[in-house]
């Protein structure tokens, strides 16, 4: 099953290191980063889980819950978490799904038979409070995920949802946004009384104050 942007993220019930959860219920009114790992005790994923744990305050500031997944059982996850804390200096502080029956992996299209029919690929899903999938990423086994980019995309999604703008290439929080062509000049004058810089009729840059960008 290929998960497409805008679709409601499939619900599931599964065991985790923090007990059994029903996914949609667990989400509550939060955003979510769901990311999968081929198996426990793998080196690249060990570094990723440590980084995700270190960044928990940044995720919480954005109203984001983090949850991991591997095809190994809970007992294996717990042993791996001890290694992660020892080697990365941060204890895992979010649930890890134990997907031994591949139920969640199948729902989310995380098993790619031509890569390995027994393991999940290294996927990332960003899901909004309406349970809709807003970002999907799939990484090769040899390349660690960039959590700074995941946070940047979440910042962009939250900004663009709130102000009905878009963000340009390499955008960072505090940078100018773009007024999308779907908003004509008349509507833009009401929505953006501060005005904008027009490069082309379809390319209009607008400043959004830092405090407004940070509003939840």
Single out the catalytic residue among 3, 27, 33, 45.
45
Structure confidence by residue, pLDDT tens digits, 69-115: 998 999 999 999 999 999 999 999 999 999 888 889 888 988 655 55
DSSP single-letter state for residue 34: E
Which residues are bridge partners to 136 per DSSP? 125
Distance CA 107, CA 111 (A): 10
pLDDT over 90 (residue 116) = no
| 164-213: CATH class | alpha beta
pLDDT over 90 (residue 122) = no
Q: Is 32 considered catalytic here?
A: no
Banded pLDDT at 3 (limits 50, 70, 90): confident
- Report yes or no on whether pTM surpasses 0.85: yes
Average pLDDT of the chain?
Answer: 90
Q: Which long-range contacts does 21-30 make (Cβ < 8 Å, 24+ apart)?
A: 21/95, 24/131, 26/65, 26/67, 26/95, 27/65, 27/127, 27/129, 27/131, 28/65, 29/63, 29/129, 30/63, 30/64, 30/65, 30/129
Listed by start position, the domains of the chain span 13-145, 164-213
pLDDT over 90 (residue 215) = no
Mean pLDDT score, 140-168: 94
pLDDT over 70 (residue 213) = no
Banded pLDDT at 214 (limits 50, 70, 90): low
Distance CA 161, CA 143 (A): 30
Residue 155 tokens read as: 């910042």
Distance CA 139, CA 144 (A): 8
Q: Just give the CATH number of 13-145.
A: 3.40.30.10
């Amino acid at each position: 099953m290929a998960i497409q942007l805008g679709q409601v993220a499939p619900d599931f019930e599964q065991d985790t290191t923090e007990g059994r959860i029903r996914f949609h219920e667990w989400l509550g009114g939060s955003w979510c980063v769901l990311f999968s790992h081929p198996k426990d005790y793998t080196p690249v994923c060990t570094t990723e889980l440590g980084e995700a744990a270190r960044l928990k305050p940044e995720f919480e500031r954005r109203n984001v819950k983090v949850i991991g997944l591997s095809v190994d059982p809970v007992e294996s996850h717990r042993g791996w978490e001890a290694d992660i804390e020892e080697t990365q200096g941060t204890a895992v502080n979010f649930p890890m799904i134990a997907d031994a029956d591949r139920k969640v992996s199948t729902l989310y299209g995380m098993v790619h038979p031509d890569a390995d029919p027994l393991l999940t690929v290294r996927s990332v899903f960003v899901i909004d409070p309406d349970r809709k999938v807003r970002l999907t990423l799939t990484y090769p086994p040899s390349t660690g995920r960039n959590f700074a980019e995941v946070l940047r995309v979440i910042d962009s999604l939250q900004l663009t949802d709130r102000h009905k703008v878009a963000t340009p290439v390499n955008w960072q929080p505090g940078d100018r946004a773009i007024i999308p062509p779907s908003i004509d000049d008349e509507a833009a004058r009401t929505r953006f009384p501060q005005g904008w810089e027009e490069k082309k009729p379809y390319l209009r840059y607008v400043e959004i104050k830092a405090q407004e960008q940070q509003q939840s």
